[in-house]
Amino acid sequence: MAANAPPESVQARQQRIQEDAHAQALSNFDQDASKGAAVHVFDPDAPPEKKASVVAKGQEKLKPYTPSNNDVPAGKEAPIDTGTKGVLPTITVEDTDRLTEEKRDKATSEPASPSSPGAYPSGPASEVPEWYKVGWRSVANVDVPLPEDEQTKDKRFLNALSPNSSMGIGTITPALSFSYAVFASHFFTRFNFGWGWLFILLAVCCTYYRTSMARVRRCARDDIQRELVKTRLASEHESADWLNNFLDRFWLIYEPVLSKSVVASVDQILSVSTPAFLDSLRLSTFTLGTKAPRIVKVRTFPNTEDDVVMMDWNLSFTPNDIFDMTPRVAMKKVNPKIVLSVRVGRGLASAAMPILIEDVTFTGLLRVKLKLVSNFPHIQIVDITFLEKPTIDYVLKPVGGDTFGFDIAHIPGLSEFIREMIHGSLGPMMYDPNVFTLNLEQLLSGAPLDAAIGVVLVTVDAARGLKGSKIGGGSPDPYVSITINDRQELARTKYRNYTYNPTWAETKFILVNTLQEPLVLNVMDYNEHRRDTRLGSATFDLQKLQDDATVEGIERPLLKDGKERGLLRFNLSYFPVLKPEMVEGKEQLPNTNIGIVRLTVHQAKELDSAKSLTGDLNPLVKVYLGDDPSAIHRTQIIKHSNNPVWESPTEFLCLDKRSSLITLKIVDDRDILKDPVIGYMSARLEDLLAGMSDGRDWWPLSGCKTGKIRISLQWKPLHMPGVLSGVDQYVPPIGIVRLWLQRATDVKNVEAALGGKSDPYVRVLVNNVVKARTEVINNNLNPEWDQIIYIPVHSLRESMFMEVMDYQHLTKDRSLGSVELHVNELARESSTDNQYRHESTGKKEAQDPIKLDGGNGQAFQGQLHYAAEFIPCLNLKNVHFDADENDIRQMAKGVKDINKAVNGGQPSNEEERDVTVRQPIDGVQGQEREGTFGNGIADKVETNSGSDETKDKKELSGIELGKEELLKHQSGIIIFHILSGQLHKKARLEVLLDDGYWPAVSTIKARSTHAQWQHVGEAFIKELDFGRVWLRLNENAEGDKDDIIAEWKGDARHFVDATLDHRSTYTLTNDEGKTSTVVIETRYVPVPVKLEPRESINNQGVLRVELIGAKDLRSADRGGKSDPYAVFTLNGQKEFKSQTKKKTLHPEWNETFNVNVSSRVAADFTVEVFDWNQLEQAKSLGVGRIRLDDLEPLEAAERSIPLSSEKHGEKGVVQLRMVFQPEIIARARKSTSTFSVAGRAMTHIGSLPMEAGRGVLHGVGSIFRRDHEKENSLPSHPEVFAPATHPTTQSLGSGGAASRSAESLRAASGAPSDHGVLRVVVLNAKGLHTNEAKPYALIRVGDKEHKTKHGHSRTSTPEWNETFVFPASSSTSKLYVCVYDHKTLGKDKVLGEGEVEIWRHLQPNQSSVADLTADLRGGEVRLHLEFDAEANAHVHDPSVTSLERPTPASPSRFSIRGRRPGATEDS
């Protein structure tokens, strides 16, 4: 009968037998549950989330749980996604919101059916029903009200008060108190004070004595007790009864929460780690008992570092011990019990067998070491180690349960064997001297422990002199295995056949999550039929990569058993994950195309069960990148579940976010049979990231009837050479926007609380990059800038963000609001003109309101007045850079080929590099076009898909110009490609043009001294022939105070000429003689700009003024005469003061001085003549205004300036002779709340300005030649430009010219061969930081120094006019000047210091006189130098002399060597 029974009855019988066996095992726990123990019973086949919900049913709602893993590897080899072409995604973002009509009808028509307790929830978990009791409190009826007679309990209180007993006060009077009493008594007696004063004195002395002695004794008592406590802490143990008392009560509350965590994590691990001969391994019952762990004793070590706490804890977890329990508590005590449900068999032929573990005890001596930090959580690292082997005991009953179970510990030798197995596993991890480390700072930060913090590029070059041979003889087949701290293998190279000196030259990408562990490279001998043999190991401390991110040429000995077994050569580079940047008050990740993707496969639901015969699936997920057939990640297998939960993360390196495609396949595991695909999804990475930003994480599956998968992604941007701001993302400009920032009115005052006003300036941002900014107007809510700036633009879609900022010297600048201007308001495409692809729509003049941050974009304050106009650039063909310097993607493709060869086990004997030069990775919408540029060399360029111009599929036409034709255009955009550098210190490279007020191009700070920037930037130059290029290395970050460590300056035309068609290397130097080199190439795109007169180089420069004399001055003395002297003022700042001529109305001065003029058009240059009086204030004899805009450059002009006054009218004339020399004047950004307007000359080197005119002044030709020879980094070129014409540039005069003769350039130079006398006249200073100083100057030449007198009044523009004499020769090459603030009490404060290279200004063979301005890095000092080679310096004493001196020569060093149209030779 049984044989003929239907299959259904057989299955039902087997199921009933299993339920009966399971019920018998569970019946043993009924008594424990009635005692109040938290005994949790589950369905063995229930998923982990169901079991966790059963444990947590005392809580209101379930919370998501992320299982932790303490054994996290420190890194792994990075799967690389290089982009995909031709593979289409199966779903997009819109697919997640699409529901079929059937599902809508079903969701609205069918009522919700009740679900059984613990069933897998389709949505958020519901509250636990009131009738369902879980946990020891609900089972033991703790919360049920007790009868009234049981609520009363006896209460005892121990009030043991220890009154503070004060120590006795000594009777010996301190010497100080006694001396004071004697002195005061003598004083009172001497001056006939009464007895009352003596009593007051006695009371004061007694009070002082009592108070001071009490304090001394109290402090002494505390010190003694503290030292005794330290000694006792270090030598004795103390109890922790207070903590144990707390744990006894807290354990009963915390046990349900801890059980939930253990069940959810352990059961998940058990289900994944099930052996092959078992069908499943599940946790069905779990309780930790009612007795809490105890801390028996604690020992503290006080003599540690200030930020380290170290203690020894004696821990004990003995639930069976009832010695310290009352009979009532012992009666309700429950021991820990765990029941594992082991299912043996397969499919229908399987049975569950319960295994019981109970009476677990544990004791051990634990050392805990805490590393403290200042930020939360204030404990950074916890080190845990057992000083001795802990004692572990338990009862294991594999069969029979609690009633009939047999403890396997009774089997001889088995229990000891299991304990040794446990000690063997825990020993290397946390038995002394090994330490188990927990990084609490990282744990509590919310970041996963295995999250990558960067990529390490390991380039294994070669090994030499390997020692070792195979067992049967012969040479080894070596390969390199890369590990972190010698744990699991992360990557390996190919093996080389039969060699002791292998060369691999392979690069591996390693994702690392910590740099605290060493990198271990094991050289292994490959064996085909047996285990590979280790030949030796080399280690490298990854922490060194934090100081220098690129370490090349590493050579490490290979060690085995303490002996050297050869030498290994390799290189390392570290690329950290970029941190978010603050943009408009919000954190934003840098927009890069390369980065690390962290993909987490959470769960799936409603999988298509029709693809399984039994309707039960064993699903896992495989992750694929692009069209690569090999999976980069496999999740664990969740058996017997159609709604699996994996929570499986993986990370990979993505080199092209725009073309990356991710595919996930859900597979049903069928052991030896072929695993079918249940469903799959394929989507672009950009779509997945966009979905994450919108809160979408569920995605539909393709290839199946039903099913969804939940995933999450995190993008971690990286900066690698040639990727961020690199050549493959560069888009050529379409033109420039000429932005005239006029003024602002009623701007926001952010300094009102301090009684001040804002210091506004405007910065212009394009794509969150600062392109230009104005000067700072100090303390003004209605600033007037009146500045013209030029902004390169690349697309009609771009917008310029004009942000008004408040300058802050010590903190970050604050935003006062912004105005946005779109390029499409100023320009449009030109369909007819082939020379210009775009055209201007006209000039826009606006008064836009300034939008404040916040306020939902509706808050405004103030208005910005500006005018903007678009000017197109020439449509040149193929403005690009070769991308063959980007090795990262080339190495990535090489790594894939290497990995395939390694996985295939194929040997390789080739010595060439596997990382070969490959074509750059194309974008999804990229295109290629051909053209010529400059020298006519045809090439291919990949355009950027983000620009609206590159989306056109047709090839764009353009014009071709040779180098000579390009350089004829005076104005244009210089495109800088900064490739690399060899630096003496890590820094960022800045490129400044012309006045050097703000860097036009700035790279990021180099990660090592071997810089690899691959940065592309742009800058507009107004006049190529007269422009200057300034390269400098800035050690500080952008926005901080500049720290320039090296620089190079040169002519713009020569620079562009040298870098236009090939890469050039430039050497940057500093005062200490240290050098750095950078490699740069450029492209030049002309822009036909018509400059205003005030924008030309002719508008700024050095004005040489010769004060000849005056006539017909007004008489101010009683005798009908005056004592006149003249004061010259530029823009409200005093520039020069002449000598005083006694008793005359027709003085003759014949004095000369130089003044820097930043703008002739806007200059307010005046001369005022005063009458000197000895006893009273000087009287003004008249003021005259001097016009500079009508001066012809480099031509002497005599002027008679009439003097006038409001009281006396016009009276008197001042006679001047002036020569204006065009020259670039830098507007230096000073460390005050405002920047100087005139500043100093940009090309000051030792305060030597550069020249921009003809050599009409004597003694500068040899100086220029010396500097030209020093610029050895430039390719050789002629010293003088050929004449060039540029009709678009206007000069301020009709016949002005700027040139230099070849004869003056070839003049000789050099220091004197013999000793002589150097006279230094210290004239004055200006631009000092403070107005509250009494400044004096200290001058030092060689080992001799002199200082001027300090003034009696406080000023920032002191005048000294003092002369000093120094011995000088070729050995005294520098003059040092330092300005101090005189302090009557205390040390004098340094206001500024600088140095001057003497023999660059003085040429003994030609000119022995020079006027110069020394830069103090916070002001400047005017000096006059005279050198007499025939005088003896030791016979002269320093003295103050008059200012009568010969006419000085020009101090100019750098000349702008181009010619103006119509220039003539020197006459």
Q: What percent of the chain has pLDDT over 70?
A: 71
Which of 386, 351, 388, 346 shows the shortest CA–CA distance to 366?
A: 386
Helix (H, G, I), strand (E, B) or coil at 799: strand
What number is the average pLDDT over the span 244-249?
Answer: 87
Helix 195-235 to helix 175-190 angle (10° resolution) is 170
In 896-1037, which ranges are E strands? 928-933, 937-942, 972-982, 988-993, 1001-1002, 1010-1021, 1028-1034
The whole-number pLDDT of residue 347 equals 62
Q: Which of 1029-1033, 1212-1216, 1368-1372, 1387-1391 has the lowest mean pLDDT?
A: 1368-1372
Distance, in Å, from the CA atom of 896 to the CA atom of 908, rounded to the nearest integer, reads 15
The whole-number pLDDT of residue 587 equals 76
The whole-number pLDDT of residue 396 equals 83
pTM above 0.75, yes or no: no
Distance, in Å, from the CA atom of 1425 to the CA atom of 1320, rounded to the nearest integer, reads 5
| Residue 238 DSSP code | B
pLDDT at 602 exceeding the cut of 80? yes
What number is the average pLDDT over the span 333-347?
Answer: 78
DSSP assignment of 1066-1121: EEEE-TTS-EEEEEEEEEEEE------GGGSGGGSEEEEEEEEEEESPPP-STTS-
Higher pLDDT, 1444 or 1354: 1354
Q: Which of 602-606, 932-936, 1330-1334 has the highest mean pLDDT?
A: 602-606
The whole-number pLDDT of residue 234 equals 59
What number is the average pLDDT over the span 68-85?
Answer: 63
The whole-number pLDDT of residue 58 equals 43
Looking up tokens 């750098």 gives: 1454
Residue 1427: Cβ within 10 Å count: 22
Higher pLDDT, 101 or 752: 752
Copy the structure tokens of residue 617: 């699936």
The whole-number pLDDT of residue 309 equals 92
| Residue 811 DSSP code | S
Please count the CA atoms within 13 angstroms of the CA of 11 that sit on its side-chain side: 5
Look over the chain and give the mean of its residue pLDDT values, rounded to a whole number.
75
Residue 886: Cβ within 10 Å count: 20
Higher pLDDT, 3 or 1343: 1343
Residues 22/354, Cβ–Cβ less than 8 Å: yes
Helix 48-55 to helix 241-272 angle (10° resolution) is 160
- Convert the pLDDT of each residue in 761-815 to its tens digit: 998 988 767 888 888 888 889 999 988 999 999 888 788 889 998 888 767 788 8
- Convert the pLDDT of each residue in 962-988 to its tens digit: 888 888 898 999 999 999 999 999 999
- Widest distance between CA atoms in the chain: 153
Residues 1258/1409, Cβ–Cβ less than 8 Å: no
Higher pLDDT, 646 or 285: 646
- Convert the pLDDT of each residue in 317-339 to its tens digit: 888 777 777 787 777 778 788 88
Copy the structure tokens of residue 884: 């063959």
- Convert the pLDDT of each residue in 418-440 to its tens digit: 888 888 888 888 898 888 888 88
Q: Which of 115-129, 674-688, 891-905 has the lowest mean pLDDT?
A: 115-129
The whole-number pLDDT of residue 441 equals 74
Residues 25/354, Cβ–Cβ less than 8 Å: yes
Band of the pLDDT at 150, cuts 50, 70, 90? very low
pLDDT at 874 exceeding the cut of 80? yes
pLDDT at 630 exceeding the cut of 80? yes
What number is the average pLDDT over the span 1438-1447?
Answer: 37
H-helix segments, 363-459:
401-404, 414-430, 440-444
pLDDT at 1246 exceeding the cut of 50? no
Distance, in Å, from the CA atom of 878 to the CA atom of 960, rounded to the nearest integer, reads 9
Q: Which of 577-591, 1406-1420, 1446-1460 has the lowest mean pLDDT?
A: 1446-1460
pLDDT at 114 exceeding the cut of 80? no
| Residue 395 DSSP code | E
In 240-323, which ranges are E strands? 278-287, 294-301, 308-317
pLDDT at 510 exceeding the cut of 50? yes
Distance, in Å, from the CA atom of 89 to the CA atom of 1306, rounded to the nearest integer, reads 70
15 φ/ψ angles, rounded to the nearest 5 degrees? -65, -40
Residues 960/933, Cβ–Cβ less than 8 Å: yes
Helix (H, G, I), strand (E, B) or coil at 443: helix
Helix, strand, coil share of the chain (percent; to 5): 20, 35, 45
Distance, in Å, from the CA atom of 1212 to the CA atom of 1114, rounded to the nearest integer, reads 7
Q: Any long-range contacts for 241-249 (C-beta under 8 Å, 24+ apart)?
A: 243/295, 244/292, 244/294, 244/295, 247/292, 247/293, 247/294, 247/295, 248/292
Residue 1010: Cβ within 10 Å count: 17
Higher pLDDT, 20 or 749: 749
Residue type, position 711, single letter: I
Distance, in Å, from the CA atom of 890 to the CA atom of 1040, rounded to the nearest integer, reads 36
Residues 363/318, Cβ–Cβ less than 8 Å: yes
Q: Which of 36-45, 152-161, 1333-1342 has the lowest mean pLDDT?
A: 152-161
H-helix segments, 35-174:
48-55, 101-109, 136-139, 148-151
Q: Which of 302-306, 806-810, 1108-1112 has the highest mean pLDDT?
A: 1108-1112
Residue 362: Cβ within 10 Å count: 15
Residues 290/233, Cβ–Cβ less than 8 Å: no
Which of 257, 282, 259 shows the shortest CA–CA distance to 271?
A: 282
Using omega within 30 degrees of 0 as the cis cutoff, is the peptide bond preceding 433 cis?
Answer: yes
